[in-house]
Structure 1
Amino acid sequence: MTGMRGTVGEAVDVVVVGAGVAGLACSADLLAAGLTVRLLEAGDAVGGRMRTDRIAGFTLDRGFQVFNTAYPQVKRRLDLRALRLRPFTAGVLVRTADGTRRFTDPTRRRRGNGGPLLPVEGVSARDLAALGALSARDMLAPASWLRGRGADTTTATALAAAGLSYDLVESFLRPFLSGVFLEDDLETSARFFHLVWRSMLRGTLCLPADGIGAVPAQLAARLPDGVLRTGARVASLTPDGVALAEGGGLPARAVVVATGQSAAGELLPGLDVPRGRTVTTLYHAAPRSPLTEPTLLVDARRRFLNTCVLTEVHPGFSGDGRALVSTSVLGTPGPAEVADVEAALGEAYGADVTTWEAVHSVTVRDALPAMPPPLVLSRTTRVGPGRYVCGDHRATGSLQGALASGARAAREILADLGRGTG
C-alpha cells in the first residue's frame, strides 16, 4: 500500500480495530507469528462488552455474565488459576406459580464440579429419561458431530423432538435458556443450543474474583509494550489503513475490524450483520442475602430473565458487607417496568425489597447476536482485499465464539500475507 498523509505511527503489518476478546486473540496470534500489529481501542480499557466497573464500593460487570471453563479457546489462552474463579451452584432454581423448584444433580456437590445438570425435583420419569438421553449425547458426542448433524432447526423444535414435555420446557428449559440466548421464544439455532448445553455439562459456570473484566485484562497483559493503544477511535478505513477520529492515520497491509456488530457495520458499509439482542441488568444492595447460596434463579412467568446474589458467589463483590443482587431483563425497561421487576423479585426471593438500594443499572445493546437457524457456526473473516472482520457475530454468541473468530482472522491474514502455517 502507498503512504498516508498525517500518519501517527510507522506502518505495520496489521491494524486491529477493537480490543474486545476477539481483537485480543487475533492480535496475540499475529504477534506470535512474527507480524507487527497495532491494536486500537476507542474506550479507556480493553474488554468491549466484557468490562467490570467499581461503583459505590461494588464490583459490577457491564451486564450479568458467566465464565464457562469448558470452552476450548478458554483452556488454550487463559490461566484459570490466576483468575481466581468462583463457581455457581450446579443447578437452577425456578420460580413458578406453585413455588420454587430446584433443578440439579443430587450427585453433584453444591459448589463442586463435574457431572451433568439433570432436573430431579417434580419431574416425570419420562421427562427425566428424555433429558438424560439428550444430555448424555450432547456431553459425550464430539463437538464436530453436534455441529454437523442433520438440518438445523429452532431450539423449541429440537426439544420437542427429543421427547421433552411441554410442562418441562415451560417450567424449566424456556425460562433458563431465555437468559442464555436473550430471547424467550426458543428461536435460537438448535445446533448452538446443543453446543452450549454440552459446554455446561462438561464445564463449570463461574466468575473471576475481580469480575468478568479480568478475562480480557489477562489477555491484554501478555501483549508487548506499544501494541495496544486505548482512547484511539477509528473514524474510517482507508485504502492505506485506518483514519483516526483525532486526525491522522495509521498505514497497514491489513485491517481487522474486531468491534461489535453495529460498529463493524459502520466501518464496513454493506457488511451482513445479524440482529442484536439487548439486555438490561439491575444491581441492588440488600441488608442481608435473600438467598444464601450461589445459585441462579429464573422465573417461569418470565418477568425477568434471571437473578442471583453475586456476593454468594464471591463476598468480595461488595465493599460494605451488604448483599449484591444482579437481575437481568430483556430490552430497556422504563421506571414502571423496573418497579414491576422489583415486585417480582420480592415474590421470587420472599424478601422485603423496600429495604434494597438500587445501586446501578446497565443496558447492553448487541449483547448477543441473534442466532436463528440455519446458523453458520463459523464464517470467513475476509470481507475484501486486506479487510477482515471478527467477533462473536461472525461465529457464535459466546466467549468461545469471539475467541475462535479472532483466531480464524489471524489464520486467514497469515495465509493471505504469505505467512500461513498450512
Structure 2
Amino acid sequence: MDKARVALLRTKIASLPLDSILQRDECTTAEYLRREGFTSSMIDRFFTPFYEGIFFAPLEEQSSRMFEYVFRMFLAAPASLPSKGIGAVTQHVAAPLRDKIQLNTGVKSISMNENGGGTVDTEDGQKIEAKVIIVAADPLAASALFGDRIEPSKPRGCANLYFASDQAPPIAKPILFLNGEGRSAGVVGNTCFPSSFSETYAPEGKTLVSTTVIGDDVHRSDAELERLVKSHMSEWWGSNYVNQWTHLKTYKIPFSQPAQNVPFSASKGVEVGRGVFVCGDHRSAPHSQRCYLVRNPGGEGHTQILNRLVRASEELIHENFGDLEQNFLKNY
C-alpha cells in the first residue's frame, strides 16, 4: 500500500505549479505524511532517515512546503554529483572573477549611504566604498553586521566523515544507504560510496566512503565520532571490511542550513538598504536549485540585485563620462 501511496503522491506533487508549492497551506512533514496515509513503518524506515539527511532536523521540525518542493525536484531529475566534486560548481562560477576576489579578509562593519551603497570597513583597516554591496553570509554573521534587520535563524548542523578503503564497496551500485532502524541503532544517518558514482572520486584501486551524522552526536569529539561510525558500519558491512578503512577527514558543519520550521517563508527579502543586499539560503528556500533561479516566488531578490547593478553601472558611466555625453548630444 505504501508504494501505491508514493505513486499517488508523485502524481499529486507533479501536477502542482512549481511557483505555488512554497505558498501552499503547510503543516509539519510528519503530520503531512500521516495525512497522506503512509504507515508508521514507511515513515520511520524511509522518510525519516532520507529527509532528516536532507534537512538535518526531525520530521516534526520540517515544513511540508519544503517537503513538497524537494520531492518535486527529485521528480524533475535524479540526484547527482559533479564528476570533480561539488566544489567544481563554485569554482566554475568564481572563475571569471578570480583575480578580482580578495580572500581571507574579515569585515568589521558596513555603513550605508542614503543615496545607495555604502562603505565596507575590513578588519585589516581597509575602507572600501561601493554603490552596491552584497553580503552572502549565514544569518549569524549577517545579523552581526545589520542587527535586527536580519531575523535570527536556528542552525541545523551535520558531520561528514570520509574514509578510504583498499577494497571494492560491498554493493557497487550508486546507492545512498539509509539508517532505517533509528539513531538508537547507531550514529550514522546515511552512507554511500561516492567512487561508485564517478571514478574521479578515488584513485584506481581505492574506494571512497562517505558517512553523515546529524543531531546531538555531531557534538562528540572527532575521535569518538570515528569510533562510533566504524562500529555502526561494522554492523552493516562486517568488521573485516570496515576495520581496514583509513580515516581521511571529519568535517563538522554547525550551520549547514537554517531551520525550516512551520511557519516557513521562502521569500524574506534581500534588500536591507538602498543598494545593500543580504543573500543566502536563510532568505529563501535552502536548496541548491534556488541558487540558479531568477524568476520565482523566492527569486525576486536576484532580480532586485541585477536591476540595482544595472542602475549602478549607469550612474558610474554618467559620473565619469557625463561631460563627454553632453558634448556629444550638443554636437550631434
After TM superposition, the score normalised by the length of structure 2 is 0.81
Whether the 8 Å contact between 1:278 and 1:332 is mirrored in structure 2 is no
Q: Secondary structure at the match of 1:210?
A: coil
CA separation of 1:414 and 1:131: change in aligned 2, threshold 3 A: closer
DSSP 3-state at the match of 2:22:
helix
Is this contact kept in 1: 2:290–2:299, CA < 8 A?
A: no
Say if 1:236 and 1:345 are closer, same or farther in 2 by CA, change over 3 A: same
- 1 CA distance for matches of 2:206 and 2:235? 20
Q: CA deviation at 1:208?
A: 0.9
Alignment match, 2:14:
139
- Structure number with greater CO (CA < 8 Å, separation at least 6) is 1
Residues 152 and 374 in structure 1, CA contact (< 8 A), matched pair in contact too:
yes
- Aligned-partner residue type, residue 236 of structure 1: S
For 1:355, the equivalent position in structure 2 comes to 244
Which residue of the partner structure matches residue 182 of structure 1? Answer: 56
Query: Hey, what's the Cα distance between the residues in 2 that align with 1:373 and 1:326?
Result: 31
Contact 1:396 1:402 in 2 (8 A): no
Q: Secondary structure at the match of 1:163?
A: coil
Q: Report what 2:230 is aligned to.
A: 342
| Displacement of 1:142 | 1.4
Residue 401 in structure 1 maps to residue 290 in structure 2 = yes
Distance 1:414 1:127, change over 3 A: closer
Q: 1:276 to 1:403 in 2, by over 3 A?
A: farther
* Distance in 1 between residues matched to 2:309 and 2:197, nearest whole Å: 46
Between 348-357 and 205-214, the greater mean CA deviation after superposition:
348-357
The CA distance in 2 between the partners of 1:295 and 1:309, in whole Å, is 8
Distance 2:50 2:310 in 1: 46
Judged with a 3 Å threshold, the aligned counterparts in structure 2 of structure 1 residues 273 and 401 are, in CA distance, closer, same or farther, namely: farther
- Check 1:287–1:228 CA distance in 2 against 1; reply closer, same or farther (3 A cut): same
Instruction: Name the CA distance, whole Å, in 1 between partners of 2:233 and 2:99.
Output: 47
- Mapped to 2, the partners of 1:418 and 1:222 lie a distance apart of 19
Q: Distance in 2 between matches of 1:340 and 1:417?
A: 50
Quote how far apart the aligned CAs of 1:320 are.
5.3
Q: 1:246 to 1:407 in 2, by over 3 A?
A: farther
- Distance in 1 (CA, whole Å) between partners of 2:156 and 2:84 is 26
Is the alpha carbon distance of 1:416 and 1:222 closer, same or farther for their aligned partners in structure 2, counting shifts above 3 Å? closer
Quickly say closer, same or farther: Cα 1:308–1:251, change in 2 above 3 A.
same
Give the Cα–Cα distance (whole angstroms) in 2 for the partners of residues 399 and 356 of structure 1.
31
Question: Which structure 2 residues correspond to residues 213-228 of structure 1 after superposition, within 5 A?
Answer: 213-223=87-97, 227-228=100-101
Superposed CA deviations along residues 297-322 of structure 1, whole A, max 9, x for unmatched, are 01012331210011111122113522
Q: Where does residue 308 of structure 1 map in the other structure?
A: 192
Report the secondary structure of 2:152's partner residue: coil
Give the aligned length: 293
Instruction: Give the Å deviation of 1:337.
Output: 4.0
CA distance in 2: counterparts of 1:221 and 1:411, whole angstroms:
22
What is the RMSD computed on CA atoms of the aligned residues? 2.3
The aligned counterpart of 1:33 is none
> How many Å apart are 1:217 and its aligned residue?
1.0
Any conservation in 2 of the 1:241–1:254 contact (CA below 8 Å)?
Answer: no
* 1:351-373 deviations in Å (ceiling 9; x for gaps): 52111111111111210111001
SS of the aligned residue for 1:205 comes to coil
Q: Whole-Å Cα distance in 2 between the matches of residues 191 and 349 of structure 1?
A: 36
CA distance in 2, matches of 1:198, 1:165: 21
How far, CA to CA, are the matches of 1:187 and 1:347 in structure 2?
29
Match of 1:127 in 2: 2
Say whether the 8 Å CA contact 1:287–1:322 is kept in structure 2: yes
Query: For the residues of structure 2 that align with 1:199 and 1:351, how far apart are their CA atoms?
Result: 37
Aligned partner letter, 1:284? F
Instruction: Please identify which structure carries the higher strand content.
Output: 1
For 1:121-147, what per-residue CA distance to the aligned partner results, in whole angstroms no more than 9, with x for missing partners?
xxxxx2222121111211232112322
**Given that residues 139 and 151 in structure 2 are in contact (C-alpha distance below 8 angstroms), is that contact kept between their aligned partners in structure 1?**
no
> 1:329 aligns to what SS in structure 2?
strand
Residue of structure 1 equivalent to 2:71:
197
- Counterparts of residues 28-47 of structure 1 (less than 5 Å): none
Give the number of the structure whose residues are more often helix, by fraction. Answer: 2
The unaligned stretches of length 5 or more in structure 1 are: 1-125
Shift in CA distance, 147/410, structure 1 to aligned 2, threshold 3 Å: closer
Distance 1:249 1:307 in 2: 46
CA distance in 1, matches of 2:198, 2:308: 46
State the TM-score, normalized to the length of structure 1: 0.65
Q: Which amino acid aligns with 2:304?
A: E
Cα offset, 1:199, TM superposition: 0.4
Mapped to 2, the partners of 1:417 and 1:319 lie a distance apart of 44
Give, in whole Å, the separation in 2 of the partners of 1:360 and 1:245.
31
Corresponding residue of 1:256:
134
Tell me how far 1:409 sits from its aligned partner: 3.4
Match of 1:42 in 2: none
Structure 2 gaps of 5+ residues are 113-117, 313-332
Contact 1:175 1:184 in 2 (8 A): no
Displacement after TM superposition at 1:412 (Å) = 2.0
Deviations 1:366-411 (A, max 9, x none): 1011100111112210223443211111111111234448964342
